[in-house]
A and B are shown apart, each in its own frame.
Chain A
Amino acid sequence: MKYMLIKTCGPAAHCDTFIGDWTPEEIQANIDFQHALGEQLAKSGELVDAQGLADPGQARIVMSDGRSAPVVTDGPFPETKEFLAGYWIVDVDSAERAIEIAAQASASPGPGGRPIGEYIEVRAIMDAPAVDL
């Protein structure tokens, strides 16, 4: 079963400071943690893909009615916190395992090395139907 674990730009449960305001060591520790997690998932044979997205400030919103020129709006937007920051796609044996990985990702280190308690959204990826045996 494949799941997408989603990080957003919003504040975490135990940390409301922007990562740019942390000390370099704290930032480095968080980056190292993300690398180690990706490495661990690759080793366990569960990683499908993991990507981070550029800052929402660079986002463009496109709207078209299919006839006239498309309307392109710049970010950032009032609800920046709603924006997707990055994701992991994992292939795991159970929903419980997906939650376990998300919990691990949520506890990434922040200021003072304390786990920040990020909110990680766990979403099942659509698949073909089970065979009607």
Chain B
Amino acid sequence: MPDVMLEDLLRELAPQVLGALVRRTGDFDAAEDALQEALLAAATQWPAEVVPGNPRAWLISVAHRRMIDAIRSEVSRRNRETANAIRDPQGLSPTASDPADTVVAALTEAGLSDLASPPGGVHSEAVGISSGHDDSTDEDDRDDTLTLFFLCCHPALTPASAIALTLRAVGGLTTEEIARAFLLPERTMAQRIARAKKRLAAEARPFAMPVAANGQRGEWHERLDNVLRVLYLIYTEGHTSGGERLHRGDLSGEAIRLARALFRALPDNPEVTGLLALLLLTDARRAARTGEHGELIPLAEQDRALWDREMIIEGVRLATASVRSGLIGPYQIQAAIAALHAQALRPENTDWPRILLLYNALERQAPNPMVTLNRAVALAMVHGPHAGLDLADTLSESLAGSHRLDAVRGHLHEMAGDTEEAVAAYTAAARATTSLPERDYLTIRAARLRRA
């Protein structure tokens, strides 16, 4: 197998293997170490030999054996240290007849008794590398990427911690890479990840899959919403981190890669499909969003020839598939709106009436002032700027001090030809924003109107 293909295969399998190990043992750090060793073993052995029939099962069993070995040597080390001090009739000696007992004992000792009997039991026998067959059970055939997603996006974690842990564990990025993406010192990021793991360790059964309430929006859905939100935040972070730089392609790309992994695990969930579609359709516009010097270019003024057609085709296909089952959730609806924008070859071809209907639906689903503000823009495009301004005015209290409200007011006043009001709104928005390119854009926009 060529190195590039092997690398891709290992990258795709890594979170699934890590998920399985964490689910079995409950030890995040040890699982990560063992995974690295197993990946190394695969990278050195597979190109020379035949890739095993079930590479994931191979990696799981090799890594799991490493974990057992590590626990064993840790236990025997501790036994040597305490041998004279404690007479233990149970004897956690490394020569215990059943290695699984040793693992259970070690986990119990570590206060992880709940985790000591994972579903399916502890596999103490690794697959023989030369035997060419694997003893994968049904247990090994489930996709543990999902387990890992639910763990890393656990509701007990702050968004920043969940983002860092997801990039580290599911995305396989190094701490240094994550720190760089967020413009933080590596030490700070390392602490953030370590704290997140500690926080999870304090939970009773952190990696227990939430139970799907029969057809009801139970805990499972809430947990999935959390995962979707974290991926969405990683994507937007890819656009907003980096001070003056508008794009951080690698994080945006990473968010899309993670959304694909989630989509593979849950291909029939409309919201998962919707999120992937939304990210693809948004990312398709990336090259057109900024000018030569990083200046912002609003949607209506973008050179649409620069939009990525391939991404749009895939995004539209996914968005269409996700709405077949009805308009269920916010990501799906936003994807549908993005698809309508993407399908307009010229701004004047935009299907604003349908976009307005979708914003109405989105506001019913997930009411929040920002959605209403976007609806005000759609309303202006369908019924004229004053209709939009009237709706925007209802947000004066809920969005007080938000530069977005003033920026929209500026655009709508400009549309209506109220130059003075537009200048005042743009100037207020420029003062309120914490984004440098946005401040430049708003300042220039106001200056142009003043000169006109």
Give the number of residue pairs across the A-B interface with Cβ within 8 Å. 85
Nearest A residue to B438, CB-CB: A129
Residues of B within 8 A of A47 (CB): 185, 188
A48 touches which of B161, B184, B193, B298 (Cβ 8 Å): B184
Residues of A within 8 A of B188 (CB): 42, 45-48, 91
Q: Are B437 and A129 in contact (CB under 8 A)?
A: yes
Q: Are B243 and A127 in contact (CB under 8 A)?
A: yes
Nearest CB on A from B59, distance (A) = 30
A129 touches which of B189, B193, B246 (Cβ 8 Å): B246
Nearest A residue to B334, CB-CB: A133
Residues of A within 8 A of B246 (CB): 128-129
Task: Decide if B372 is an interface residue (CB 8 Å cutoff).
Answer: no
Task: Decide if A69 is an interface residue (CB 8 Å cutoff).
Answer: no
Q: Are B282 and A128 in contact (CB under 8 A)?
A: no
Q: How far is the CA of A128 from the CA of B296 in the complex (A)?
A: 10
Residues of B in contact (CB 8 Å), total 42
Q: How far is the CA of A91 from the CA of B438 in the complex (A)?
A: 21
Residues of B within 8 A of A43 (CB): 191, 195
Residues of A within 8 A of B247 (CB): 128
Task: Decide if B192 is an interface residue (CB 8 Å cutoff).
Answer: yes
Residues of A within 8 A of B185 (CB): 47-49
- B3-11, B145-153, B232-240: which one contacts chain A? B232-240
Task: Decide if A103 is an interface residue (CB 8 Å cutoff).
Answer: no
Residues of B within 8 A of A125 (CB): 243, 434
Nearest CB on B from A41, distance (A) = 9
Nearest CB on A from B81, distance (A) = 29
Q: Are A127 and B195 in contact (CB under 8 A)?
A: no
Q: How far is the CA of A133 from the CA of B191 in the complex (A)?
A: 31
Contact code string A93-133 (vs B, CB < 8 Å = 1, else 0): 10000000000000000000000000000001111111111
Q: Are B278 and A42 in contact (CB under 8 A)?
A: no
Q: Are B434 and A91 in contact (CB under 8 A)?
A: no
Q: Are A91 and B435 in contact (CB under 8 A)?
A: no
Residues of B within 8 A of A133 (CB): 236, 278, 282, 334, 338
A residues 35-90 in Cβ contact with B at 8 Å: 42-49
Nearest B residue to A91, CB-CB: B184
Q: Are A127 and B240 in contact (CB under 8 A)?
A: yes
B437 touches which of A1, A2, A128 (Cβ 8 Å): A128
Task: Decide if B244 is an interface residue (CB 8 Å cutoff).
Answer: yes
Nearest CB on A from B113, distance (A) = 29
Task: Decide if B182 is an interface residue (CB 8 Å cutoff).
Answer: yes
Q: How far is the CA of A24 from the CA of B195 in the complex (A)?
A: 36
Q: Are B192 and A45 in contact (CB under 8 A)?
A: yes
Nearest A residue to B289, CB-CB: A132
Q: Are B438 and A131 in contact (CB under 8 A)?
A: no
Q: Are B242 and A128 in contact (CB under 8 A)?
A: yes
Residues of A in contact (CB 8 Å), total 22
Q: Are B236 and A131 in contact (CB under 8 A)?
A: yes
Residues of B within 8 A of A124 (CB): 434
Nearest A residue to B245, CB-CB: A128
Q: How far is the CA of A45 from the CA of B197 in the complex (A)?
A: 13
Q: Are B435 and A126 in contact (CB under 8 A)?
A: yes
Q: Are B195 and A44 in contact (CB under 8 A)?
A: yes
Q: How far is the CA of A133 from the CA of B242 in the complex (A)?
A: 19
Residues of A within 8 A of B189 (CB): 45
Q: How far is the CA of A1 from the CA of B192 in the complex (A)?
A: 15
Q: How far is the CA of A88 from the CA of B310 in the complex (A)?
A: 45
B240 touches which of A42, A49, A130 (Cβ 8 Å): A130
Nearest B residue to A124, CB-CB: B434
Q: Are A127 and B158 in contact (CB under 8 A)?
A: no
B residues 116-170 in Cβ contact with A at 8 Å: 158-161, 164
Q: How far is the CA of A127 from the CA of B438 in the complex (A)?
A: 9
Residues of A within 8 A of B245 (CB): 128
Task: Decide if B241 is an interface residue (CB 8 Å cutoff).
Answer: yes
Contact code string B66-92 (vs A, CB < 8 Å = 1, else 0): 000000000000000000000000000
Residues of A within 8 A of B160 (CB): 45, 91, 93
Q: How far is the CA of A54 from the CA of B164 in the complex (A)?
A: 36
Q: Are A127 and B191 in contact (CB under 8 A)?
A: no
Q: How far is the CA of A91 from the CA of B179 in the complex (A)?
A: 12
Task: Decide if B205 is an interface residue (CB 8 Å cutoff).
Answer: no
- Most B Cβ at <10 Å: residue of A44, A49, A128, A133: A128
Nearest CB on B from A28, distance (A) = 26
Task: Decide if B344 is an interface residue (CB 8 Å cutoff).
Answer: no
Task: Decide if B187 is an interface residue (CB 8 Å cutoff).
Answer: yes
What 9 A-B pairs come out closest when comparing CB atoms?
A45-B192, A131-B239, A129-B435, A45-B191, A129-B438, A126-B436, A124-B434, A128-B240, A131-B236
Between-chain CB contacts (< 8 Å), 30 pairs = A2-B183, A42-B188, A42-B191, A44-B195, A45-B188, A45-B191, A45-B192, A47-B185, A48-B183, A48-B184, A91-B188, A93-B158, A126-B435, A126-B436, A126-B439, A127-B435, A128-B239, A128-B242, A128-B247, A128-B436, A129-B296, A129-B433, A130-B239, A131-B235, A131-B236, A131-B240, A131-B282, A133-B282, A133-B334, A133-B338
Other 16 A-B pairs with CB < 8 A, given A93-B158, A131-B239: A1-B434, A42-B191, A45-B160, A45-B191, A48-B188, A91-B160, A124-B434, A126-B435, A126-B436, A126-B439, A127-B241, A127-B436, A128-B245, A129-B246, A129-B437, A133-B334
